[in-house]
Amino acid sequence: MHAEVRSIKYPVSEYTRGLPCETTSYSSKQYACLKLYRATGPGQLQCIQQTNWSAFPARLPGQPFFCPLSNKSTAQAIASQWNVQRSGAGFVVEFVVSTSFLSDIPMDELAGDGGYEYRIPAQKMDAFNESLIGPIKMVNAYF
């Protein structure tokens, strides 16, 4: 499924699938944006910290996509169940991305009320990181 993304104020959710931001000011510039979430393990969180909370790491071999989520509760479930079981800890990070970047990014609707998963190709991670508005924030930790 691919949705059209437009740089508009409310209701952004008609064109993007995520928690809409009103046009946001950051560093004295105006952006149309979308708040997304990602469940991470300790390794990926450490890589994010090493960038001073400004970028996600490149994808590893065998990881063709970076898949942020529109639904915080889905990210919380993944972090608290899958990441904790696999690595002893799970975290949810929240970040804001410019809607103009997402206009060409495919997304999948998740089952139930799971929201949407964007499928950002690994080769677009640099452009994705450049489209982040403000810092990445850790919003949940599970052990």
Residue-wise pLDDT for 81-115, tens only, equals 999 999 999 999 999 999 999 988 999 998 877 78
Q: What is the amino acid identity at position 37? A: Y
pLDDT digits (tens, 9 = 90+) for 4-18: 332 323 233 333 444
Question: Which residue is associated with the tokens 């708040």?
Answer: 35
Is the CB of residue 52 less than 8 Å from the CB of residue 61? no
What is the average pLDDT score of the chain? Answer: 83
Question: Which residue is associated with the tokens 């403000």?
Answer: 134
Cα separation, 44 vs 66, in Å, equals 12
Q: Is 27 helix (H, G, I), strand (E, B) or coil?
A: coil
Could you tell me the pTM of the whole model? 0.80
Q: What is the amino acid identity at position 133? A: I
pLDDT surpassing 60 at residue 46:
yes
Q: Is 125 helix (H, G, I), strand (E, B) or coil?
A: helix
